[in-house]
């Protein structure tokens, strides 16, 4: 053993030495992570071959050979764009360009789309205000978001008060996807809280009813609940009363989402030590005060990452509303590629739809992971 102690260093004065070259730098990294054994090397080569099989053809199709621009006749207004304008052999992106407005706003009239934009800006701004660290006083934002915003958004989107009425049949595209999943998640929060408290209640009847509801809604597929909302719900209303199809779907989605929300909140409640309940009770707080001031603020904090995940799945599940003939984002893209001008653009449509969905959901899932990490450091030093 070569021993550095023989070089006559006094205790505590031994200098730091750099590691051997084979352990550090690019070569060290490659050796450790890609070529540590013959089996490892084989795997690496196999992986490179797999990437070679998939990535270059896709890049060629989607970028190098793709058609991005309209032909001059379209720009000068002589004809409308169509699939035969794409002659380069790759992806026909002019399909997406031509239909972009429809993909995002559905059949909402061009002249009124500013209203949707305002709602979207308000939505993003208030969610940022609610979640951002640097905004300190969140109470007015919360009041705005949960009380004023829904009414304002409804008036802006639907019309009335001097605004032209846009019936819900004209809503569609990414906007409709956001509306359905957003309303589903916002309304499922209070119902979910009540269901979660009910499931943990010591009153047997309340516990049983809440458990039955939660397990029922989680045991059947969303699509069957949509089917029920579509064909069965109207039969339970008093004769003469009719709900708009969108309202019926929203009721179904909200009830479905509440069951999952309840389980997420129940998880948050279970994460709290019993001492928090005892501390609050010993201080003389009543049940609802204890829930509002001590338990819920902590349980919801724990549950936020899962709530975001619920929102992600709900946004994806919203594609199922196509079954009752609503034109959500995916359905309107599919409808677009069935247009006789655009036969054969399915793949472009699906790839575009997939990329948008992916970016939206991936960003949110990263955010929820970030929250989860922050939770562990939370109010600590």
Partner 1 sequence: MSTQSTAANPSVSDEVMIQMVGVNKWYGQFHVLKDIDLTVNTGERIVVCGPSGSGKSTMIRCINRLEEHQKGKIVVDGIELTHDLKHIEKIRREVGMVFQHFNLFPHLTVLENLTLSPIWVKKVPKREAEEVAMHFLERVKIPEQAAKYPGQLSGGQQQRVAIARSLCMNPKVMLFDEPTSALDPEMIKEVLDVMIGLAESGMTMICVTHEMGFARTVANRVIFMDRGEIIEQNEPEEFFNNPTSERTRLFLSQILHH
Partner 2 sequence: MAMAQGTPENGVANGHSHHHVAFWRDERKRGLAAQLVVILAILAFGWYLIANLLANQERLGIPLGLDFLENVAGFQLSFAVLPVTLESPIGRLLVVGGLNTLVAAFFSAIIATFVGLLIGIMRLSHNWLISRIAATYIEIIRNIPLLLQLVFWYGGVLVTLPRPRDSLSAFDLVYLNIKGLFMPRPVPEPGAGIVLIAFVAAIGIAIGVARWARQRQMATGQQFATVPVNFAIVIGLPTFAYLLLGRPIAWDVPQPGAFNFTGGVTILPEMTALIIGLGLSTAAYVAEIVRSGINSVSHGQTEAALALGLKPRWCMRLVILPQALRVMIPPMISQYLNVVKNSTLAGFIGYPDLFSIIGTSQNQTGRAVECVMILMLFYLSVSLIISVIMNWYNKRVMLVER
Please report how close the Cβ of residue 376 comes to partner 1 at its closest, in angstroms.
11
Counting contacts by CB under 8 A, is residue 58 touching partner 2?
no
Report the residue from 248, 311, 353, 368 that binds partner 2 according to the rule CB under 8 A: 353
Residue closer to partner 1 by CB (options 220, 283) is 283
Q: Tell me how many residues contact partner 1 (CB under 8 A).
A: 22
Token pair, residue 180, equals 């359905």
Q: Is residue 353 a contact partner of residue 177, using CB atoms and an 8 Å limit? A: no
Please report how close the Cβ of residue 210 comes to partner 1 at its closest, in angstroms.
23
Q: How many CA atoms lie within 13 A of 109 on its CB side?
A: 10
Q: Is residue 83 a contact partner of residue 96, using CB atoms and an 8 Å limit? A: no
Give the Cβ contact number of residue 122 at 10 Å. Answer: 17
Give the Cβ contact number of residue 311 at 10 Å. Answer: 21
Q: Could you say which residues in the range 297-316 bind partner 2, by CB under 8 A?
A: 312, 316
Query: How many residues belong to the chain?
Result: 381
Token pair, residue 213, equals 């509801």
Give the Cβ contact number of residue 300 at 10 Å. Answer: 16
Q: Is residue 356 a contact partner of residue 276, using CB atoms and an 8 Å limit? A: no
Residue closer to partner 2 by CB (options 167, 286) is 286
Counting contacts by CB under 8 A, is residue 322 touching partner 2?
yes
The partner in contact with residue 146, picked from partner 2, partner 1, none with C-beta cut-offs of 5 to 8 angstroms by kind, is: none
The partner in contact with residue 301, picked from partner 2, partner 1, none with C-beta cut-offs of 5 to 8 angstroms by kind, is: partner 1
DSSP 21-49: GGGSHHHHHHHHHT-SSHHHHHHHHHHHH
Q: Could you say which residues in the range 29-48 bind partner 2, by CB under 8 A?
A: 33-34, 36, 40, 43-44, 47-48
Report the residue from 60, 276, 316, 341 that binds partner 1 according to the rule CB under 8 A: 276
The partner in contact with residue 223, picked from partner 2, partner 1, none with C-beta cut-offs of 5 to 8 angstroms by kind, is: partner 2
Tell me how far CA of residue 191 lies from CA of 25, 146, 237, 291, in angstroms. Answer: 55, 14, 21, 15
Token pair, residue 327, equals 């034109």
The partner in contact with residue 317, picked from partner 1, partner 2, none with C-beta cut-offs of 5 to 8 angstroms by kind, is: partner 2
Counting contacts by CB under 8 A, is residue 281 touching partner 1?
yes
Counting contacts by CB under 8 A, is residue 376 touching partner 1?
no
Counting contacts by CB under 8 A, is residue 319 touching partner 2?
yes
Contacting residues for 190 by C-beta, under 8 A, at least 6 apart = none
Residue closer to partner 1 by CB (options 298, 365) is 298
DSSP letter assigned to residue 150: H
Q: Is residue 118 a contact partner of residue 133, using CB atoms and an 8 Å limit? A: no
Question: For partner 1, what does the binding mask look like between residues 255 and 274, x meaning CB under 8 A?
Answer: ------------------x-
Residue closer to partner 2 by CB (options 194, 272) is 194
Helix (H) or strand (E) holding 105: helix 94-105
**299: nearest Cα among 277, 331, 321, 282:** 277
Report the residue from 27, 147, 347, 369 that binds partner 2 according to the rule CB under 8 A: 347
Look-up: residue for tokens 């708009």? 244
The partner in contact with residue 60, picked from partner 1, partner 2, none with C-beta cut-offs of 5 to 8 angstroms by kind, is: none
Please report how close the Cβ of residue 357 comes to partner 2 at its closest, in angstroms.
5
Residues of the shown chain interacting with partner 2 in the complex, contacts defined by CB under 8 A: 33-34, 36, 40, 43-44, 47-48, 50-51, 202-206, 209, 216, 219-221, 223-224, 227-228, 231-232, 234-239, 286-289, 312, 316-320, 322-323, 330, 334, 346-347, 350, 353-354, 357-358, 360-362, 365
């Amino acid at each position: 053993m070569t021993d550095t102690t023989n070089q006559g260093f006094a205790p505590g004065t031994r200098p730091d030495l750099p590691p051997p070259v084979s352990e550090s730098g690019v070569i060290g990294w490659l050796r450790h992570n890609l070529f540590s054994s013959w089996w490892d090397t084989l795997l690496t080569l196999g992986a490179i071959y797999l990437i070679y099989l998939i990535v270059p053809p896709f890049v060629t199709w989607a970028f190098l050979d793709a058609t991005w621009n309209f032909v001059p006749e379209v720009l000068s207004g002589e004809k409308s764009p169509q699939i035969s304008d794409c002659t380069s052999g790759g992806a026909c992106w002019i399909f997406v360009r031509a239909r972009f407005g429809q993909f995002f706003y559905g059949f909402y009239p061009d002249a009124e789309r500013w209203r949707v934009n305002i709602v979207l800006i308000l939505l993003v701004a208030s969610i940022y205000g609610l979640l951002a660290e640097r905004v300190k006083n969140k109470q007015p934002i919360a009041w705005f978001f949960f009380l004023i915003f829904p009414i304002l958004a409804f008036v802006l989107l639907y019309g009335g008060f001097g605004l032209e009425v846009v019936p819900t049949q004209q809503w569609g595209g990414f906007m409709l996807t956001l509306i359905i999943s957003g309303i589903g998640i916002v309304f499922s929060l209070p119902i979910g809280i009540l269901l979660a408290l009910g499931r943990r209640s010591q009153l047997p009847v309340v516990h049983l009813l809440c458990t039955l509801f939660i397990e029922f809604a989680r045991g059947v597929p969303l699509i069957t609940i949509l089917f029920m909302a579509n064909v069965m719900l109207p039969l339970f209303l008093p004769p003469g009363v009719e709900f708009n199809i969108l309202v019926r779907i929203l009721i179904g989605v909200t009830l479905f989402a509440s069951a999952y929300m309840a389980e997420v909140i129940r998880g948050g409640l279970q994460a709290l030590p019993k001492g928090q309940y005892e501390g609050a009770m010993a201080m003389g707080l009543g049940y609802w005060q204890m829930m509002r001031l001590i338990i819920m603020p902590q349980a919801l904090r724990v549950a936020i990452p899962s709530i975001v995940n619920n929102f992600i799945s709900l946004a994806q599940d919203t594609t199922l509303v196509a079954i009752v003939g609503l034109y959500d984002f995916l359905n309107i893209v599919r409808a677009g590629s069935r247009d006789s001008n655009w036969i054969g653009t399915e793949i472009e449509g699906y790839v575009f739809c997939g990329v948008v969905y992916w970016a939206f959901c991936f960003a949110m899932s990263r955010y929820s992971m970030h929250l989860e990490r922050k939770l562990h450091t939370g109010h600590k030093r």
